[in-house]
Amino acid sequence: MEPTPATDPPDPSAEPAGYVVVVGPGDRIHFHDWGGPTLRTRPGILLLHGLSQTAWIWAPVARRLRSTAATIAMDLRGHGLSDAPTGDDDYAPAVLAEDAVAVAEGSGLLAAATDRVVLAGHGFGAVVAAWAAAALGDRCAGLVLVDGGWESLEAATGVDVDEFLRGLDEPPEVMRSLAAYMADRKGFDPSTWDADQRRAAEATVVETHAGRVVPSTRPHALEASVRTMFGYDPIAILGPVVAPVIAVRAGADDDGSRSAALAAVSAARTAAGRTPIATMEFEGTGHNLMRYRPSEVTAAILSLAPAIS
């Protein structure tokens, strides 16, 4: 797929306003409102981050989107500044989808009955975005899956949920200090390291009195989110989603498994009378495509947010 490559340049001076919506029995879900045109000329956009990240990871894309469309980036429950409830079902698919819908409505993206929203999710956020798209039905104008959301995690990784959880721990030397952690994150790609990347990295850890850092995502929320993610069935969820879907893929696919998974979901959509999944591929690029390919991710999102006639 070749989405329109021309996007507005990022607005380096923009700062989002922070708000919360209250869902369920009183859980507060935080989001960044990056603003947008005063006159609504196209569907608004809701951005969902991945596992152990926060809304700040979307800053490079949000800075480009805000000149064209109303742009909101949320903190998933248990992450960032959102609450981290401890109930057995507090991270169930329906609850996570409800959070996204509540943010879309509470932020004004879905203020009117005729309003529609484009959902874009990264990694785990792509899974949540898929659940939310299914819940929204016709109110979802488009769904962008950024390096996730079209695969069964167990099939993709070849490990069970407990082994996956054990593999999430950072090396001790990375967590020995905030400086060490920042150096590690900068080292992924020094050419793209800037103030937004620093802030996104800082939001994922908490500095202790001893000078070490620990993840800011609450351990119980991380485990519950992963266990929920392992239950995700992409064919069952994405097959009937009404909105058009774009998958933006990073990294190599040496054994063809990622392409095969994407083809299976696309075939399920065709069988259900939906449009097949359009794809963008960036081999040799890391998972965080918002950092490495912000213009292309922005273009993919805007391609599903047509002008309102």
Q: What is the pLDDT of residues 229-238, one digit of tens each?
A: 999 999 999 9
Cα separation, 111 vs 140, in Å, equals 13
Is the confidence at residue 196, as pLDDT, over 60?
yes
Distance CA 66, CA 182 (A): 28
Residues 16 and 73: beta-carbon distance below 8 Å: yes
pTM beyond cutoff 0.75: yes
Which CATH architecture is the domain 17-165+217-303 placed in?
3-Layer(aba) Sandwich (3.40)
B/e letters for 104-131, b = 16+ CB within 10 Å, e = fewer, are: bebbebbeeeebbbbbbbbbbbbbbbbb
Rounded to 5°, the CA angle 189-194-198 comes to 90
Q: Are 219 and 206 in contact (CB under 8 A)?
A: no
Query: How far is C-alpha 162 from the chain's CA centre?
Result: 23
Query: Tell me, what's the pLDDT at 24?
Result: 86
Q: Beta 140-146 vs 205-207: how paired, if at all?
A: unpaired
Backbone angles phi, psi at 162, to 5 degrees: -70, -40
Q: How far is CA 272 from the centre of its chain?
A: 25
Q: Are 104 and 72 in contact (CB under 8 A)?
A: yes
| Percent of all residues in the chain with a pLDDT value above 70, rounded to a whole number | 98
- The residue to which tokens 């979307």 are assigned: 58
Torsion of Cα atoms, 256 then 259 then 262 then 266, to 10°: -120
Domain boundaries, the chain: 17-165+217-303
Residues 3-37 pLDDT 10s: 445 678 999 999 999 999 999 899 999 999 999 99
CA 211, chain centre distance (Å): 30
Q: Which residue has the tokens 């929204």?
A: 136
pLDDT digits (tens, 9 = 90+) for 105-152: 999 999 999 999 999 999 999 999 999 999 999 999 999 999 999 999
User: Is residue 86 within 8 Å of residue 222, measured between CB atoms?
Assistant: no
Give yes or no for residue 188 having a pLDDT over 50. yes
- Tens of pLDDT along 87-109? 989 999 999 999 999 999 999 99
Query: What pLDDT is attached to residue 4?
Result: 46
- 89 burial via Cβ count (<10 Å: 0-12, 13-18, 19+): exposed
Q: Is the pLDDT score of 1 beyond 60?
A: no
